[in-house]
Amino acid sequence: MVDPIQLTFDIAGNTFGLALPAALWALLFLLAWERPAFAESVGFGRWAFWLLLPGALLASFALLPIAPVSYDWVAVSLAGAIFPLLVGALGFGRAAPPLGRSLALYLAVLTVEAALLLVLVLPATASLAAAFAVGGLSTGAGQVLLVLVAAVIAAGVAFAILTRRAGDPRAGPAAGAPWVVAFSIALTTGVLLGTFAASSAIPGVGIVEDFPEYLLPPIAAGVVAVAVAPRLFPGREGYALPIAYFSTTFGVLLGADLLRQPPLYGTGPAGLYTIGGAGVLDLVYLSGLLALGTAYLVHRGLGRPLTPADVAARVARPGPYGLLVLAFRAGARGDLAASLEAADQASREAARQAHRLLDLPEAPADRPWQGLPVPGWVVADQANLDAVARSGTTDSREGFRAWLTARWLVNLGRELGLRRFATVDRRAAAFGVDLAVVTLPAVAVWSAIAVLTPGDLVSLLTNVGFNAAIYGFVAVAFLFLVLSETVTGTSPGKRALGLAVRDRTMQAPSFPAALLRNVSILPILTVLGIGGALAVSFVLKPSGLASLTIVGVTLPAGLLATGTILIFVLGGIGLLGALGALSIALTSERQRLGDVWAGTWVVRAVPVPPPISRPGPVPAPAPPAPSGPTRTS
């Protein structure tokens, strides 16, 4: 007989499970694009959206192996765990500066607490849990009660120690940082306990949590964070959002993946157990976003302003072409003052960018083109544009001519710096070297596992260590390139070809920027990792494969299979690489998709001075700028 209540819950759970990710992504998008200054100040600007949505989707097969346990392997997913934790950590640093000290203190306390709780859930402590199962409670309920008591005591002691000499939060972020760390630990512990109580480990399936129980801890965390925000962040209540996100993400990771996984180890066939293994559908990934969305909606519902939580935080300035787009949009809606200002900023930014790309000293503010190899009429045009921007105009035709002048100057600045950008062929060659550097050690590891694994091809392909090495290659190669660019500003292949990665200030990219720019190569690493490992397995484990005779020539089937796989691998890499090359060729600053997201360039390490030239015909020199409104040339 069908239970209508259970059927209703099942339908509601499935519907909600399908709709929740899309709703959270939409909220994250609207937050980053509609309230960019606020979103950036609390750590959820556009870079967070790019990393958590397309970046996480592209990283679905990137698993970082941690250690073997019994005959199982434990790994952590970049998409389902590492990316959310990195976004949360940077937002946590905004709320509790400085990031290094606050994060180290938070992680140290949680490590001690998690280690204590982990001991309590190991099979060896089952008798202790049974002792707590009094009054007809099961051993599982006794274990939950035991963890609850220990977690509350540990969090209470940590809170008392951290706040003993804490300053007044009203004195500023640094003074209130110990309170933020202590509150975050308490909130994380609450989410941990709720998640642990509602989840269960099923051998052969993994860790599961039913609807609607898995919604309660994140929603509660978002509400509590906003409720406490006025006392914790006076005047900066928006910091409740990153605290809710970070505490929930860590709490779910500890309450489910850490405390519920040990009973799964060694309970059946060898398996690869992954923290955040469901990627963008994992509770570690979704719970933080749900807490963020709840905090945001409650924040709005209480009528609190969506101004930057930290007035010093601002959205990064767009490049010259981005400013031109802003100027055009402002003119189209009739805001000529904003259009003229953005157009003037675009031409000035183009001049500053050309100076940076050519390694020239910065020009004076009133003469942005000074020192650049440009004809004299450029200076006159800039002066006219400055005058119109200062005085303003009510004539839409005048505003459009100013925009055309700005576009001309921006194109000129691009031509000056274009030779500094790396060409498609040099970038392709550098990337080929990088792939060789990260792949050759992986081939050695795959070969060693293949040789040491007894049995035939099927035995190798079902070997947990071999599969961990395949998916681990994607994660390790990706992180190697990210760290290489963060530390040295280049990669082995780029260094060999005389190239470097730079942001718009011509500095080496930050870790978030390097991380974001490299997520677009994850599909190539995935194709290479899976295809390369399969090719190695067919070469070294050909047993069970028959030979094949073609035109009277007998060839090993393993060799043919290897060749076929390599053709597909090279074809996949070629197709994905062609899309990247097309992006580089079509963008104004020779950027592939990851560079556009991260705001980075790949440039020649040593600039090549451009010749004195101008694109197109030379217009007549503009007259000197008058003090009042004037027309641009």
In sequence order, what DSSP letters do the residues of 549-592 get, joined into one string?
A: EETTEEE-HHHHHHHHHHHHHHHHHHHHHHHHHHHHHHSTT---
Do 507 and 581 lie in a common domain?
Answer: yes
Q: Give domain status of residue 48, yes or no.
A: yes
**Rounded distance, CA 514 to CA 481, Å?**
8
Do 451 and 409 lie in a common domain?
Answer: no
Mean local confidence (pLDDT), 402-422: 93
**Rounded distance, CA 173 to CA 259, Å?**
33
Confidence of residue 132 (pLDDT cuts 50, 70, 90): low
Q: Give domain status of residue 7, yes or no.
A: no
Assess whether pLDDT exceeds 90 at residue 544: no
Q: Give domain status of residue 610, yes or no.
A: no
Q: Which residue has the tokens 């952590």?
A: 76
Which residues partner with 555 through β-bridges? 548
Tokens read off for 438: 């990260």
Q: Give domain status of residue 632, yes or no.
A: no
Length of the chain: 633
**How does pLDDT run across 281-334, given as a tens digit for each residue?**
999 999 999 999 999 999 999 999 888 776 555 556 788 999 999 999 999 999
Q: Which range in 132-136, 227-231, 375-379 is most confidently predicted, on average pLDDT?
A: 227-231
More confident call, 232 vs 166: 232
Do 376 and 247 lie in a common domain?
Answer: no
Give the residue from 212, 198, 207 showing the smallest Cα distance to 16: 212
Radius of gyration from C-alpha coordinates of the chain: 29
Assess whether pLDDT exceeds 50 at residue 140: yes
Buried b (16+ CB within 10 A) or exposed e, 590-626: bbbbbbbbbbbbbbbeebeebeeebeeeeeeebeebe
Give the residue from 120, 114, 186 showing the smallest Cα distance to 147: 120
Do 327 and 289 lie in a common domain?
Answer: no
Q: Give domain status of residue 52, yes or no.
A: yes
Q: Where are the alpha helices (DSSP H) in 490-556?
A: 492-496, 511-518, 522-540
Do 448 and 411 lie in a common domain?
Answer: no
Do 523 and 402 lie in a common domain?
Answer: no
Q: Which of 395, 419, 443 is the last residue of a domain?
A: 419
Give the residue from 545, 485, 473, 557 showing the smallest Cα distance to 516: 485
Residues 25/294, Cβ–Cβ less than 8 Å = no
Residues 284/81, Cβ–Cβ less than 8 Å = yes
**pTM for this predicted structure:** 0.89
Do 431 and 366 lie in a common domain?
Answer: no
Q: Which of 392, 419, 446 is the last residue of a domain?
A: 419
Q: Give domain status of residue 8, yes or no.
A: no
Residues 90/45, Cβ–Cβ less than 8 Å = no
Q: What percentage of the chain carries pLDDT values higher than 70?
A: 88
Q: Please state the domain count of the chain.
A: 3
Do 184 and 105 lie in a common domain?
Answer: yes
Q: Which of 567, 588, 609 is the last residue of a domain?
A: 588
**Rounded distance, CA 590 to CA 598, Å?**
13
Please report, as a single letter, which amino acid is at residue 593: L
Do 472 and 568 lie in a common domain?
Answer: yes
Residues 427/604, Cβ–Cβ less than 8 Å = no
Rounded to the nearest angstrom, the gap between the alpha carbon of residue 600 and the centroid of all alpha carbons in its chain is 15
Pairing relationship of beta strands 600-604 and 72-77 according to DSSP bridges: unpaired
Assess whether pLDDT exceeds 60 at residue 628: no
Please report, as a single letter, which amino acid is at residue 60: S
Residues 487/338, Cβ–Cβ less than 8 Å = no
Do 440 and 541 lie in a common domain?
Answer: yes
Assess whether pLDDT exceeds 50 at residue 468: yes
**How does pLDDT run across 285-298, given as a tens digit for each residue?**
999 999 999 999 99
Give the residue from 439, 473, 482, 470 showing the smallest Cα distance to 55: 482
Least-confidence region, from 73-87, 263-277, 450-464, 609-623: 609-623
pLDDT of residue 392: 87
Q: Give domain status of residue 624, yes or no.
A: no
Max CA separation in the chain (angstroms):
95
Do 487 and 383 lie in a common domain?
Answer: no
Assess whether pLDDT exceeds 70 at residue 619: no
Please report, as a single letter, which amino acid is at residue 294: T
**Rounded distance, CA 13 to CA 208, Å?**
13
Pairing relationship of beta strands 72-77 and 272-275 according to DSSP bridges: parallel
Q: Give domain status of residue 612, yes or no.
A: no
Dihedral (CA of 139, 141, 142, 146) sign: positive
- Domain hosting residue 381, numbered range: 320-419
Do 449 and 536 lie in a common domain?
Answer: yes
Dihedral (CA of 482, 487, 492, 493) sign: positive
